[in-house]
Protein backbone atom coordinates (compact mmCIF):
# COMPACT_ATOMS: atom_id res chain seq x y z
CA UNK A 1 0.00 0.00 0.00
CA UNK A 2 2.82 2.42 0.91
CA UNK A 3 4.65 1.82 -2.39
CA UNK A 4 1.46 2.44 -4.38
CA UNK A 5 0.79 5.67 -2.46
CA UNK A 6 4.33 6.92 -3.09
CA UNK A 7 4.06 6.04 -6.79
CA UNK A 8 0.77 7.90 -7.10
CA UNK A 9 2.24 10.92 -5.32
CA UNK A 10 5.30 10.98 -7.61
CA UNK A 11 3.11 10.57 -10.67
CA UNK A 12 0.84 13.38 -9.51
CA UNK A 13 3.84 15.71 -9.09
CA UNK A 14 5.09 14.76 -12.55
CA UNK A 15 1.68 15.47 -14.10
CA UNK A 16 1.59 18.84 -12.35
CA UNK A 17 5.05 19.71 -13.68
CA UNK A 18 4.07 18.82 -17.22
CA UNK A 19 0.88 20.86 -16.99
CA UNK A 20 2.88 23.81 -15.69
CA UNK A 21 5.30 23.55 -18.59
CA UNK A 22 2.40 23.32 -21.02
CA UNK A 23 0.95 26.62 -19.80
CA UNK A 24 4.17 28.57 -19.25
CA UNK A 25 4.48 29.77 -22.84
CA UNK A 26 7.68 28.40 -24.36
CA UNK A 27 9.65 30.75 -26.62
CA UNK A 28 11.01 30.22 -30.11
CA UNK A 29 12.54 32.17 -32.98
CA UNK A 30 9.55 33.27 -35.02
CA UNK A 31 11.60 34.91 -37.75
CA UNK A 32 15.28 35.18 -38.59
CA UNK A 33 16.41 37.14 -41.66
CA UNK A 34 19.99 37.74 -42.82
CA UNK A 35 18.81 39.82 -45.83
CA UNK A 36 21.03 38.01 -48.32
CA UNK A 37 20.33 39.87 -51.54
CA UNK A 38 23.23 38.97 -53.80
CA UNK A 39 22.08 38.86 -57.40
CA UNK A 40 18.80 40.71 -56.80
CA UNK A 41 17.85 42.08 -60.26
CA UNK A 42 15.65 44.74 -58.65
CA UNK A 43 17.07 45.85 -55.31
CA UNK A 44 13.81 47.65 -54.50
CA UNK A 45 12.18 44.21 -54.26
CA UNK A 46 12.73 43.69 -50.53
CA UNK A 47 11.09 40.23 -50.73
CA UNK A 48 13.84 38.83 -52.94
CA UNK A 49 15.18 35.41 -51.85
CA UNK A 50 12.92 35.11 -48.77
CA UNK A 51 13.12 31.32 -48.74
CA UNK A 52 16.92 31.43 -48.91
CA UNK A 53 17.50 34.10 -46.28
CA UNK A 54 14.74 33.47 -43.71
CA UNK A 55 14.20 30.80 -41.08
CA UNK A 56 12.00 30.44 -37.99
CA UNK A 57 8.49 29.27 -37.19
CA UNK A 58 6.80 31.98 -39.29
CA UNK A 59 9.13 31.87 -42.31
CA UNK A 60 8.60 32.60 -45.15
CA UNK A 61 7.18 36.00 -44.11
CA UNK A 62 6.98 38.86 -46.63
CA UNK A 63 7.48 42.56 -45.94
CA UNK A 64 5.38 45.56 -46.90
CA UNK A 65 7.44 48.63 -47.76
CA UNK A 66 7.06 52.32 -48.55
CA UNK A 67 9.69 54.67 -49.91
CA UNK A 68 13.34 53.87 -50.55
CA UNK A 69 14.01 50.40 -49.12
CA UNK A 70 16.37 47.95 -50.80
CA UNK A 71 17.94 44.51 -50.45
CA UNK A 72 21.03 43.66 -52.50
CA UNK A 73 22.29 47.20 -53.09
CA UNK A 74 26.05 46.68 -53.03
CA UNK A 75 27.03 50.34 -53.54
CA UNK A 76 27.53 51.04 -49.84
CA UNK A 77 28.45 47.53 -48.71
CA UNK A 78 29.82 44.75 -50.93
CA UNK A 79 27.10 42.24 -51.75
CA UNK A 80 24.36 44.40 -50.34
CA UNK A 81 23.38 41.69 -47.86
CA UNK A 82 21.43 43.94 -45.51
CA UNK A 83 18.14 45.85 -45.46
CA UNK A 84 18.90 49.34 -46.72
CA UNK A 85 16.55 52.08 -45.46
CA UNK A 86 16.82 55.53 -47.01
CA UNK A 87 15.13 58.92 -46.67
CA UNK A 88 12.34 57.77 -44.32
CA UNK A 89 11.71 54.56 -46.23
CA UNK A 90 10.05 51.91 -44.05
CA UNK A 91 9.71 48.11 -44.10
CA UNK A 92 7.24 46.11 -42.01
CA UNK A 93 6.89 42.32 -41.66
CA UNK A 94 3.44 41.14 -42.77
CA UNK A 95 2.38 40.03 -39.28
CA UNK A 96 0.64 41.35 -36.19
CA UNK A 97 2.81 40.04 -33.35
CA UNK A 98 0.08 40.17 -30.70
CA UNK A 99 -2.61 38.15 -28.91
CA UNK A 100 -0.91 34.84 -28.23
CA UNK A 101 2.03 35.36 -30.56
CA UNK A 102 3.51 37.57 -27.86
CA UNK A 103 2.75 35.25 -24.92
CA UNK A 104 5.77 34.99 -22.67
CA UNK A 105 7.23 38.21 -24.08
CA UNK A 106 8.99 39.18 -27.30
CA UNK A 107 12.52 40.10 -28.31
CA UNK A 108 13.50 41.97 -31.47
CA UNK A 109 17.25 41.70 -32.08
CA UNK A 110 19.08 43.16 -35.09
CA UNK A 111 22.32 44.72 -36.23
CA UNK A 112 21.99 48.42 -36.95
CA UNK A 113 23.99 51.08 -38.76
CA UNK A 114 22.35 54.52 -38.70
CA UNK A 115 24.43 56.21 -41.42
CA UNK A 116 26.97 55.75 -44.18
CA UNK A 117 28.52 59.22 -44.35
CA UNK A 118 29.66 59.87 -40.75
CA UNK A 119 26.83 62.34 -40.16
CA UNK A 120 26.09 62.13 -36.45
CA UNK A 121 22.56 63.51 -36.88
CA UNK A 122 21.37 60.43 -38.77
CA UNK A 123 19.40 57.59 -37.21
CA UNK A 124 17.78 54.21 -37.83
CA UNK A 125 14.69 53.23 -35.85
CA UNK A 126 12.29 50.45 -34.87
CA UNK A 127 8.61 51.03 -34.07
CA UNK A 128 6.45 48.53 -32.16
CA UNK A 129 2.82 48.36 -31.05
CA UNK A 130 1.22 49.77 -34.21
CA UNK A 131 -2.11 49.02 -35.85
CA UNK A 132 -2.07 47.67 -39.41
CA UNK A 133 -3.29 50.95 -40.91
CA UNK A 134 -0.48 52.80 -39.09
CA UNK A 135 2.33 50.31 -39.70
CA UNK A 136 4.57 52.86 -41.46
CA UNK A 137 4.31 55.58 -38.80
CA UNK A 138 7.12 58.09 -38.45
CA UNK A 139 9.07 57.63 -35.23
CA UNK A 140 7.36 60.46 -33.29
CA UNK A 141 3.87 60.26 -34.78
CA UNK A 142 1.17 60.88 -32.16
CA UNK A 143 -0.71 57.64 -32.94
CA UNK A 144 -0.20 54.78 -30.49
CA UNK A 145 3.14 53.01 -30.78
CA UNK A 146 6.55 52.73 -29.11
CA UNK A 147 9.57 53.79 -31.13
CA UNK A 148 13.28 53.96 -30.47
CA UNK A 149 15.87 55.49 -32.79
CA UNK A 150 19.59 54.79 -32.74
CA UNK A 151 21.59 57.87 -33.61
CA UNK A 152 25.00 57.81 -35.27
CA UNK A 153 26.33 60.01 -32.45
CA UNK A 154 25.74 57.09 -30.07
CA UNK A 155 22.56 58.26 -28.32
CA UNK A 156 19.07 56.79 -28.50
CA UNK A 157 15.74 58.56 -28.43
CA UNK A 158 12.59 56.69 -27.41
CA UNK A 159 8.95 57.68 -27.92
CA UNK A 160 5.53 56.65 -26.68
CA UNK A 161 3.47 58.12 -29.50
CA UNK A 162 4.92 61.62 -29.90
CA UNK A 163 6.08 61.86 -26.29
CA UNK A 164 9.83 61.47 -25.79
CA UNK A 165 10.48 59.06 -22.92
CA UNK A 166 14.28 58.87 -23.16
CA UNK A 167 16.78 60.95 -25.12
CA UNK A 168 19.97 60.59 -23.09
CA UNK A 169 20.80 56.88 -23.06
CA UNK A 170 23.98 55.80 -24.85
CA UNK A 171 23.91 52.79 -27.17
CA UNK A 172 27.26 53.35 -28.93
CA UNK A 173 29.91 55.02 -26.75
CA UNK A 174 31.98 57.29 -28.97
CA UNK A 175 29.37 57.18 -31.75
CA UNK A 176 28.72 54.77 -34.58
CA UNK A 177 29.76 56.77 -37.64
CA UNK A 178 32.12 55.05 -40.03
CA UNK A 179 30.41 53.71 -43.11
CA UNK A 180 28.22 50.69 -43.77
CA UNK A 181 30.71 48.20 -42.39
CA UNK A 182 29.99 49.36 -38.85
CA UNK A 183 26.91 47.33 -37.89
CA UNK A 184 26.36 46.63 -34.19
CA UNK A 185 23.74 44.52 -32.42
CA UNK A 186 20.85 46.01 -30.46
CA UNK A 187 17.67 44.46 -29.06
CA UNK A 188 14.25 45.55 -27.83
CA UNK A 189 12.41 43.31 -25.37
CA UNK A 190 8.73 43.54 -24.42
CA UNK A 191 7.23 41.76 -21.41
CA UNK A 192 4.17 41.95 -19.15
CA UNK A 193 4.63 40.94 -15.50
CA UNK A 194 0.85 40.85 -14.95
CA UNK A 195 -0.36 38.27 -17.50
CA UNK A 196 2.73 37.42 -19.55
CA UNK A 197 1.50 38.91 -22.85
CA UNK A 198 2.74 42.46 -23.55
CA UNK A 199 0.61 43.01 -26.67
CA UNK A 200 -2.91 41.91 -25.76
CA UNK A 201 -4.26 45.20 -24.37
CA UNK A 202 -4.39 43.80 -20.83
CA UNK A 203 -2.06 44.62 -17.94
CA UNK A 204 0.95 46.58 -19.19
CA UNK A 205 3.82 46.57 -21.67
CA UNK A 206 7.34 46.77 -20.22
CA UNK A 207 10.01 47.61 -22.80
CA UNK A 208 13.77 47.33 -22.36
CA UNK A 209 16.42 48.35 -24.90
CA UNK A 210 19.84 46.66 -25.04
CA UNK A 211 23.08 47.31 -26.93
CA UNK A 212 25.97 44.90 -27.44
CA UNK A 213 28.31 47.91 -27.04
CA UNK A 214 27.16 48.60 -23.49
CA UNK A 215 28.10 45.95 -20.91
CA UNK A 216 27.93 43.34 -23.64
CA UNK A 217 24.16 43.74 -23.86
CA UNK A 218 23.70 42.22 -20.40
CA UNK A 219 21.79 45.15 -18.90
CA UNK A 220 19.21 47.49 -20.47
CA UNK A 221 20.26 50.98 -21.51
CA UNK A 222 16.68 52.24 -21.47
CA UNK A 223 13.35 51.06 -20.03
CA UNK A 224 9.74 52.17 -20.35
CA UNK A 225 6.37 50.94 -19.03
CA UNK A 226 3.11 51.48 -20.88
CA UNK A 227 0.29 51.08 -18.37
CA UNK A 228 -3.50 50.96 -18.69
CA UNK A 229 -3.45 47.76 -20.71
CA UNK A 230 -0.25 48.49 -22.62
CA UNK A 231 -0.29 48.08 -26.40
CA UNK A 232 -2.89 45.79 -27.98
CA UNK A 233 -1.59 45.82 -31.58
CA UNK A 234 1.93 44.97 -32.65
CA UNK A 235 2.84 45.64 -36.23
CA UNK A 236 6.53 46.52 -36.45
CA UNK A 237 8.56 48.68 -38.82
CA UNK A 238 12.15 49.74 -39.43
CA UNK A 239 13.14 53.09 -40.95
CA UNK A 240 16.00 55.59 -41.38
CA UNK A 241 15.88 59.34 -41.86
CA UNK A 242 18.85 59.44 -44.27
CA UNK A 243 20.69 56.29 -45.38
CA UNK A 244 20.84 53.53 -42.79
CA UNK A 245 20.39 49.82 -42.56
CA UNK A 246 19.63 46.75 -40.46
CA UNK A 247 20.88 43.18 -40.70
CA UNK A 248 20.54 39.79 -38.97
CA UNK A 249 17.01 40.35 -37.70
CA UNK A 250 15.76 37.85 -35.11
CA UNK A 251 12.24 37.97 -33.64
CA UNK A 252 11.47 35.72 -30.68
CA UNK A 253 7.97 35.00 -29.35
CA UNK A 254 5.53 32.22 -28.49
CA UNK A 255 6.70 28.84 -29.73
CA UNK A 256 3.44 27.26 -30.88
CA UNK A 257 2.60 29.43 -33.90
CA UNK A 258 3.40 28.66 -37.53
CA UNK A 259 2.71 29.94 -41.03
CA UNK A 260 -0.52 28.82 -42.69
CA UNK A 261 0.27 26.80 -45.83
CA UNK A 262 -1.50 27.27 -49.14
CA UNK A 263 -1.64 31.08 -49.16
CA UNK A 264 -0.49 32.32 -52.57
CA UNK A 265 -0.28 35.70 -54.21
CA UNK A 266 -1.93 35.97 -57.61
CA UNK A 267 0.02 35.04 -60.71
CA UNK A 268 2.68 32.80 -59.16
CA UNK A 269 3.66 29.15 -59.29
CA UNK A 270 3.84 26.69 -56.38
CA UNK A 271 7.23 28.13 -55.38
CA UNK A 272 5.97 31.71 -55.37
CA UNK A 273 7.75 32.63 -58.61
CA UNK A 274 5.89 34.80 -61.14
CA UNK A 275 4.24 32.93 -64.00
CA UNK A 276 5.33 33.74 -67.57
CA UNK A 277 3.57 36.37 -69.66
CA UNK A 278 1.81 33.88 -71.93
CA UNK A 279 -1.77 33.11 -73.01
CA UNK A 280 -1.11 29.58 -71.76
CA UNK A 281 -0.22 30.68 -68.20
CA UNK A 282 -2.96 29.89 -65.68
CA UNK A 283 -3.04 30.56 -61.94
CA UNK A 284 -3.83 27.13 -60.51
CA UNK A 285 -4.27 28.42 -56.95
CA UNK A 286 -7.32 30.59 -57.65
CA UNK A 287 -10.67 29.72 -59.23
CA UNK A 288 -13.15 32.20 -60.72
CA UNK A 289 -16.36 30.89 -59.18
CA UNK A 290 -18.54 33.73 -60.47
CA UNK A 291 -17.56 34.72 -63.98
CA UNK A 292 -19.56 37.43 -65.71
CA UNK A 293 -17.48 36.77 -68.81
CA UNK A 294 -18.50 33.15 -69.37
CA UNK A 295 -17.94 29.63 -68.09
CA UNK A 296 -17.29 28.88 -64.44
CA UNK A 297 -15.47 27.62 -62.50
CA UNK A 298 -12.44 28.87 -64.38
CA UNK A 299 -8.75 28.89 -63.57
CA UNK A 300 -7.80 32.51 -64.21
CA UNK A 301 -5.30 33.64 -66.82
CA UNK A 302 -2.28 35.80 -66.12
CA UNK A 303 -3.19 39.16 -67.67
CA UNK A 304 -0.99 40.31 -70.58
CA UNK A 305 1.59 42.58 -68.95
CA UNK A 306 3.11 43.89 -72.18
CA UNK A 307 0.16 46.09 -73.14
CA UNK A 308 -2.43 48.43 -71.67
CA UNK A 309 -3.63 48.60 -68.89
CA UNK A 310 -0.66 47.07 -67.02
CA UNK A 311 1.43 49.26 -69.28
CA UNK A 312 -0.63 52.21 -68.18
CA UNK A 313 -2.81 52.97 -65.14
CA UNK A 314 -2.71 49.60 -63.33
CA UNK A 315 -0.11 49.16 -60.61
CA UNK A 316 2.86 47.29 -62.07
CA UNK A 317 3.38 43.57 -61.62
CA UNK A 318 6.14 42.67 -59.19
CA UNK A 319 8.55 39.82 -58.55
CA UNK A 320 6.03 38.34 -56.08
CA UNK A 321 2.62 38.77 -57.76
CA UNK A 322 0.86 39.47 -61.06
CA UNK A 323 -2.57 40.53 -62.27
CA UNK A 324 -4.94 37.66 -63.07
CA UNK A 325 -8.17 37.80 -65.09
CA UNK A 326 -10.84 35.77 -66.91
CA UNK A 327 -8.72 35.96 -70.09
CA UNK A 328 -5.20 36.83 -71.24
CA UNK A 329 -6.69 39.88 -72.99
CA UNK A 330 -9.70 41.38 -71.20
CA UNK A 331 -10.31 44.32 -73.52
CA UNK A 332 -13.73 42.80 -74.26
CA UNK A 333 -14.51 41.32 -70.84
CA UNK A 334 -18.19 41.51 -69.85
CA UNK A 335 -19.46 43.88 -67.20
CA UNK A 336 -20.68 42.42 -63.93
CA UNK A 337 -19.34 40.79 -60.80
CA UNK A 338 -16.40 38.39 -60.61
CA UNK A 339 -15.39 36.21 -57.66
CA UNK A 340 -11.90 34.77 -57.29
CA UNK A 341 -11.55 32.01 -54.70
CA UNK A 342 -8.47 30.59 -52.95
CA UNK A 343 -8.75 27.44 -50.81
CA UNK A 344 -6.39 26.65 -47.93
CA UNK A 345 -6.36 24.11 -45.11
CA UNK A 346 -6.14 24.73 -41.35
CA UNK A 347 -5.84 21.08 -40.43
CA UNK A 348 -3.43 20.96 -37.47
CA UNK A 349 -4.12 24.58 -36.51
CA UNK A 350 -6.45 26.29 -34.05
CA UNK A 351 -8.77 28.37 -36.30
CA UNK A 352 -9.66 30.68 -33.41
CA UNK A 353 -6.09 32.01 -33.46
CA UNK A 354 -5.69 32.39 -37.23
CA UNK A 355 -5.01 35.72 -38.87
CA UNK A 356 -4.00 36.68 -42.39
CA UNK A 357 -2.95 39.90 -44.06
CA UNK A 358 -2.32 41.09 -47.57
CA UNK A 359 -2.75 43.78 -50.22
CA UNK A 360 -5.23 43.77 -53.09
CA UNK A 361 -6.21 45.79 -56.12
CA UNK A 362 -8.92 45.34 -58.72
CA UNK A 363 -10.53 46.74 -61.87
CA UNK A 364 -13.05 48.04 -61.31
CA UNK A 365 -14.02 48.30 -57.65
CA UNK A 366 -13.21 45.55 -55.18
CA UNK A 367 -16.57 45.02 -53.47
CA UNK A 368 -15.73 42.62 -50.65
CA UNK A 369 -13.49 39.88 -49.29
CA UNK A 370 -15.27 36.78 -48.01
CA UNK A 371 -13.92 34.26 -45.53
CA UNK A 372 -15.82 31.00 -45.88
CA UNK A 373 -18.58 32.85 -47.69
CA UNK A 374 -19.02 35.50 -44.99
CA UNK A 375 -18.41 39.17 -45.76
CA UNK A 376 -15.54 41.00 -44.07
CA UNK A 377 -16.67 44.35 -45.45
CA UNK A 378 -13.26 45.20 -46.92
CA UNK A 379 -13.05 46.98 -50.27
CA UNK A 380 -10.47 47.97 -52.84
CA UNK A 381 -11.18 51.34 -54.44
CA UNK A 382 -8.59 51.43 -57.21
CA UNK A 383 -6.35 49.64 -59.70
CA UNK A 384 -3.45 52.09 -59.48
CA UNK A 385 -2.59 51.16 -55.89
CA UNK A 386 -2.87 48.14 -53.60
CA UNK A 387 -5.07 48.33 -50.49
CA UNK A 388 -4.21 46.50 -47.21
CA UNK A 389 -6.64 43.95 -45.79
CA UNK A 390 -6.74 41.89 -42.60
CA UNK A 391 -8.83 38.88 -41.56
CA UNK A 392 -8.73 37.80 -37.93
CA UNK A 393 -11.94 35.79 -37.51
CA UNK A 394 -14.32 33.50 -39.39
CA UNK A 395 -11.86 30.64 -39.88
CA UNK A 396 -12.86 26.99 -39.43
CA UNK A 397 -11.03 23.72 -38.85
CA UNK A 398 -9.93 22.05 -42.07
CA UNK A 399 -10.70 23.58 -45.47
CA UNK A 400 -11.25 27.36 -45.71
CA UNK A 401 -12.04 29.63 -48.65
CA UNK A 402 -10.89 33.21 -49.25
CA UNK A 403 -12.93 34.98 -51.93
CA UNK A 404 -12.26 38.33 -53.59
CA UNK A 405 -15.37 39.95 -55.08
CA UNK A 406 -14.99 42.69 -57.69
CA UNK A 407 -17.15 44.48 -60.22
CA UNK A 408 -16.40 45.34 -63.83
CA UNK A 409 -18.47 48.50 -64.35
CA UNK A 410 -18.56 48.27 -68.16
CA UNK A 411 -17.33 46.04 -70.97
CA UNK A 412 -13.55 46.17 -70.97
CA UNK A 413 -10.49 45.48 -68.90
CA UNK A 414 -10.83 43.73 -65.55
CA UNK A 415 -8.52 41.88 -63.19
CA UNK A 416 -7.42 41.03 -59.66
CA UNK A 417 -4.07 41.47 -57.94
CA UNK A 418 -3.18 40.03 -54.49
CA UNK A 419 0.26 40.60 -52.98
CA UNK A 420 1.94 40.02 -49.62
CA UNK A 421 -0.59 37.36 -48.61
CA UNK A 422 0.54 35.66 -45.40
CA UNK A 423 -1.08 34.17 -42.32
CA UNK A 424 -0.28 32.41 -39.07
CA UNK A 425 -2.12 30.37 -36.45
CA UNK A 426 -1.41 28.38 -33.31
CA UNK A 427 -0.55 24.77 -34.03
CA UNK A 428 -2.65 22.07 -32.39
CA UNK A 429 -0.69 19.43 -30.46
CA UNK A 430 -1.88 16.54 -28.28
CA UNK A 431 -2.43 17.46 -24.65
CA UNK A 432 1.01 16.89 -23.05
CA UNK A 433 -0.35 15.29 -19.90
CA UNK A 434 -2.91 12.96 -21.50
CA UNK A 435 -0.74 9.87 -21.21
CA UNK A 436 0.36 10.67 -17.68
CA UNK A 437 -3.21 11.26 -16.55
CA UNK A 438 -4.13 7.87 -17.99
CA UNK A 439 -1.32 6.27 -16.01
CA UNK A 440 -2.44 8.06 -12.88
CA UNK A 441 -5.98 6.75 -13.38
CA UNK A 442 -4.69 3.23 -13.84
CA UNK A 443 -2.61 3.46 -10.67
CA UNK A 444 -5.57 4.72 -8.65
CA UNK A 445 -7.73 1.90 -10.03
CA UNK A 446 -5.09 -0.65 -9.02
CA UNK A 447 -4.93 0.84 -5.54
CA UNK A 448 -8.68 0.54 -5.11
CA UNK A 449 -8.64 -3.10 -6.23
CA UNK A 450 -5.87 -3.93 -3.77
CA UNK A 451 -7.66 -2.12 -0.96
CA UNK A 452 -10.78 -4.13 -1.73
Domain ranges of the chain: 2-18+430-451, 28-255, 286-427
Contact present, 419 and 358 (Cβ < 8 Å): yes
Average pLDDT for 304-314: 96
Give the pLDDT band of residue 17 (cuts 50, 70, 90).
very low
* Cα angle for residues 309, 315, 319 (degrees, 5° grid): 110
Contact present, 404 and 283 (Cβ < 8 Å): no
pLDDT value at position 7? Answer: 44
In angstroms, rounded to a whole number, what is the distance separating the alpha carbons of residues 318 and 89?
18
Q: Which helix (H) or strand (E) holds 24?
A: helix 2-24
Contact present, 342 and 285 (Cβ < 8 Å): yes
pLDDT value at position 78? Answer: 66
pLDDT value at position 209? Answer: 97
Helix (H, G, I), strand (E, B) or coil at 450: helix
Query: Percent of the chain having pLDDT more than 70?
Result: 87
Average pLDDT for 167-172: 90
pTM of the complete model: 0.83
In angstroms, rounded to a whole number, what is the distance separating the alpha carbons of residues 328 and 415?
10
pLDDT value at position 346? Answer: 97
Q: What is the DSSP letter of 306?
A: T
In angstroms, rounded to a whole number, what is the distance separating the alpha carbons of residues 363 and 326?
12
Say yes or no: domain 28-255 is CATH 2.60.120.560.
Answer: yes
Taking 90 as the threshold, does the pLDDT of residue 276 lie above it? Answer: yes
Taking 80 as the threshold, does the pLDDT of residue 430 lie above it? Answer: no
Q: Specify the CATH class of 286-427 in words.
A: mainly beta
pLDDT value at position 92? Answer: 96
Average pLDDT for 366-372: 98
In angstroms, rounded to a whole number, what is the distance separating the alpha carbons of residues 96 and 243?
27
Helix (H, G, I), strand (E, B) or coil at 19: helix
Q: Which helix (H) or strand (E) holds 336?
A: strand 336-345
Contact present, 237 and 333 (Cβ < 8 Å): no
Q: Is 296 exposed, middle or buried (0-12, 13-18, 19+ CB in 10 A)?
A: middle
* Whether residue 309 has a cis bond before it, omega within 30° of 0: yes
pLDDT value at position 296? Answer: 86
Measured CA to CA in angstroms, residue 422 lies from 111, 258, 383 at distances of 25, 11, 21
| Selection from 25, 28, 46 nearest residue 37 by Cα | 46
Return the beta strands (E) in 50-167 as ranges. 54-55, 63-71, 83-93, 106-113, 123-130, 146-151, 156-160, 163-166
Taking 70 as the threshold, does the pLDDT of residue 16 lie above it? Answer: no
Q: What are the pLDDT digits (tens) for 211-245?
A: 999 999 999 999 999 999 999 999 999 999 998 89
pLDDT value at position 118? Answer: 63
Residues 382/383/384/390 CA torsion (nearest 10 deg): 70
Question: Can 28-255 and 286-427 be said to share one CATH topology?
Answer: yes
Q: What are the pLDDT digits (tens) for 48-98?
A: 999 999 999 999 999 999 999 999 998 766 678 999 999 999 999 999 999
Measured CA to CA in angstroms, residue 331 lies from 294, 326, 328, 424 at distances of 14, 11, 9, 38
Contact present, 113 and 76 (Cβ < 8 Å): no
Q: Is 414 exposed, middle or buried (0-12, 13-18, 19+ CB in 10 A)?
A: buried
Determine the straight-line distance between the first and last CA of the chain, rounded to whole angstroms.
Answer: 12
Amino acid sequence: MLNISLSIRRLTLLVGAVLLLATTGAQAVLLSDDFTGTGNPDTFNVNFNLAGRQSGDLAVLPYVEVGNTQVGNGTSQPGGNYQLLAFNGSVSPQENFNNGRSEGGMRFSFDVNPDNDANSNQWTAINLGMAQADRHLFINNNLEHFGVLFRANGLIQAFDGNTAVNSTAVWAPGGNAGGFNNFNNVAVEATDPTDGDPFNGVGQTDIAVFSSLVNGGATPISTFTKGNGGYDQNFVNFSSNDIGGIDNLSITGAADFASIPGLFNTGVDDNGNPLPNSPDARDTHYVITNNANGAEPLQPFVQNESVFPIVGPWVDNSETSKWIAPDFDTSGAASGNYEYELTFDLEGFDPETAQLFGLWGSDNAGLDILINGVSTGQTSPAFNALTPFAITSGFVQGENTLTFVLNNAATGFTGLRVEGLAGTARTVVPEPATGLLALLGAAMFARRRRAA
